[in-house]
């Protein structure tokens, strides 16, 4: 069990100063004064604590007394000149006669009782208040999520939060005919939530979020149940007047900047359209570049095809020429002309002038004739060629002489010895040459 001094220190730290509590409790004075004017009996404050409510009632001329179990609070109240006694609430109420009080109040008491004791407390309260009287019970409001989930448990003597619908129903169940629930102390939250003007873009969604936060996190941290033993329209109206609306105000700063915001939206939309136009033009340019690139690729592909065709044709031509050269190398004429080529190559290597070629050609041909005479097969082939080409045979005779050429082949030898077998032009030339030779002889 907590010590009295600890609990008083806890109240001083977390409940607020005496002036703050008196300012918050003064909201109920119009109902209490109307009730006192009608009934005229004293009030009882159960769990009077530091005595702020008793001071308010005394200041307004409403006689009141208080009870509390904490000796620290009782001594302080008495020192302040208040009528306070130390007593257990249930025992004290049981000892009171019926219809004793015009008002029974209890600030932040019922959450300490437990629900069974709460129902018993309500029955005794119903019994001791006057037929025209009422009860006023203030308690933490669990509809405020911060209170219900956190702040309620700062006081370790609290049992559990009591929703307002449950406490009001319990009062009706106990016999009270009219019950009013009054959310209080909302100003202590420093509530500064505001709604956006509906004309702003997104206001509907944002305002729903703000309202949800306000309906839960920003609910009044406390509420009071004012229950009248007998229905009285005048007193009920006084109690209902304490219930203030909780609708959120629309932000004036937002309204004042609506024109500027609308202008900003128009400018933003215009800028967006400009960017859309730029994006469209850029897309067109990209498509044109893609078309050009495709055309260039097609041209490059066609040019590659032409080059490949030319390369293939050139390769075929090279192969054809290679085959032609190979065929020439394999031909009989190439083999037969080998001595002449060899001789010509030898002459080119030694670098002879045209005037010095003939003696060396004659020497090469003499060696070639001697080479042929030693090879019967080759000799027969050369003989056949010279028989077929008499001009070539005559040319060889003029270069190396008939004696050198004799013996190359049988047919060749016979043709060389027989002048009669020469053509008419050949015989004339032979006759002219013979005459010239005789004339020049000594």
Q: What is the pLDDT of residues 374-426, one digit of tens each?
A: 777 777 777 777 777 776 777 777 666 666 666 665 444 444 445 555 667 77
- Smallest CA-to-CA distance from 229 within 292, 169, 174 is with 174
Report the pLDDT value the prediction gives residue 410, as an integer from 0 to 100: 41
Mean pLDDT, rounded, for 330-355: 61
Asked whether residue 284 carries a pLDDT value surpassing 90, the answer given is no
Report how far residue 256's alpha carbon sits from residue 6's, in angstroms, rounded to the nearest whole number: 52
Q: Are 184 and 24 in contact (CB under 8 A)?
A: yes
Q: What is the pLDDT of residues 59-101, one digit of tens each?
A: 999 999 999 999 989 999 999 999 999 999 999 999 999 999 9
Report the pLDDT value the prediction gives residue 352, as an integer from 0 to 100: 47
- Smallest CA-to-CA distance from 188 within 238, 241, 137, 146 is with 146
Strands 64-68, 129-140: parallel, antiparallel or unpaired by DSSP?
Answer: unpaired
Report the pLDDT value the prediction gives residue 107, as an integer from 0 to 100: 96
Report the pLDDT value the prediction gives residue 270, as an integer from 0 to 100: 78
Range of weakest confidence among 94-103, 155-164, 358-367, 423-432? 358-367
Report how far residue 149's alpha carbon sits from residue 141's, in angstroms, rounded to the nearest whole number: 11
Asked whether residue 333 carries a pLDDT value surpassing 70, the answer given is no
**Residue 208 pLDDT class (50, 70, 90 cuts):** confident
Q: Are 63 and 79 in contact (CB under 8 A)?
A: no
Query: Looking at per-residue confidence, does 287 or 227 come out higher?
Result: 227
Mean pLDDT, rounded, for 323-335: 74
- Please state the pTM of the whole predicted model: 0.55
- Smallest CA-to-CA distance from 142 within 119, 166, 118 is with 166
**Residue 323 pLDDT class (50, 70, 90 cuts):** confident
Mean pLDDT, rounded, for 309-320: 84
Query: Looking at per-residue confidence, does 409 or 121 come out higher?
Result: 121
Mean pLDDT, rounded, of the chain: 80
Report the pLDDT value the prediction gives residue 249, as an integer from 0 to 100: 62
Report the pLDDT value the prediction gives residue 223, as an integer from 0 to 100: 94
Q: Are 257 and 197 in contact (CB under 8 A)?
A: no
C-alpha 296: how far from chain center: 37
Asked whether residue 257 carries a pLDDT value surpassing 60, the answer given is no
Mean pLDDT, rounded, for 142-164: 86
Report the pLDDT value the prediction gives residue 88, as an integer from 0 to 100: 94
């Amino acid at each position: 069990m907590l010590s009295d001094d600890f609990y008083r220190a806890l109240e001083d730290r977390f409940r607020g100063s005496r002036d703050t509590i008196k300012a918050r409790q003064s909201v109920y004075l119009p109902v209490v004064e109307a009730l006192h004017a009608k009934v005229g009996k004293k009030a009882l404050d159960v769990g009077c604590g530091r005595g702020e409510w008793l001071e308010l009632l005394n200041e307004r001329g409403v006689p009141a007394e208080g009870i509390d179990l904490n000796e620290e609070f009782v001594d302080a109240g008495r020192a302040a000149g208040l009528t306070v006694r130390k007593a257990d609430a249930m025992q004290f109420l049981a000892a009171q006669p019926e219809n004793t009080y015009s008002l029974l109040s209890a600030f932040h008491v019922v959450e300490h009782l437990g629900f069974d004791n709460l129902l018993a407390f309500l029955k005794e309260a119903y019994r001791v208040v006057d037929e025209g009287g009422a009860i006023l019970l203030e308690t933490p409001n669990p509809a405020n999520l911060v209170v219900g989930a956190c702040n309620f448990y700062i006081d370790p003597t609290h049992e559990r939060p009591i929703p307002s619908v449950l406490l009001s129903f319990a009062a009706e169940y106990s016999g009270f005919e009219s019950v009013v629930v009054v959310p209080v102390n909302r100003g202590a939250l420093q509530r500064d939530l505001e709604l956006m003007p509906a004309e702003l873009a997104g206001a509907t969604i944002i305002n729903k979020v703000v309202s949800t936060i306000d309906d839960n996190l920003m609910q009044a941290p406390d509420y009071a149940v004012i229950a009248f033993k007998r229905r009285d329209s005048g007193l009920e109206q006084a109690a209902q007047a304490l219930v203030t609306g909780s609708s959120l105000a629309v932000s004036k700063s937002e309204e004042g900047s609506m024109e500027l915001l609308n202008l900003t939206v128009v400018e933003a939309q215009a800028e967006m359209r400009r960017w859309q136009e730029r994006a469209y033009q850029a897309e067109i340019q990209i498509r044109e570049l893609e078309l050009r690139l495709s055309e260039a690729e097609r041209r490059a592909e066609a040019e590659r095809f032409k080059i490949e065709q030319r390369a293939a044709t050139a390769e075929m031509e090279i192969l054809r020429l290679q085959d032609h050269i190979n065929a020439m190398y394999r031909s009989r004429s190439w083999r037969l002309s080998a001595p002449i080529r060899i001789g010509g190559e030898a002459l080119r290597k030694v670098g002879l002038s045209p005037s010095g070629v003939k003696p060396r050609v004659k020497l090469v041909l003499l060696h070639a004739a001697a080479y042929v005479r030693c090879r019967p097969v080759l000799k027969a082939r050369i003989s056949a060629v010279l028989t077929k080409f008499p001009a070539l045979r005559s040319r060889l005779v003029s270069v190396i002489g008939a004696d050198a050429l004799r013996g190359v082949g049988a047919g060749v030898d016979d043709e060389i010895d027989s002048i009669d077998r020469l053509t008419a032009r050949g015989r004339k030339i032979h006759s002219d040459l013979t005459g010239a030779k005789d004339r020049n002889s000594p």
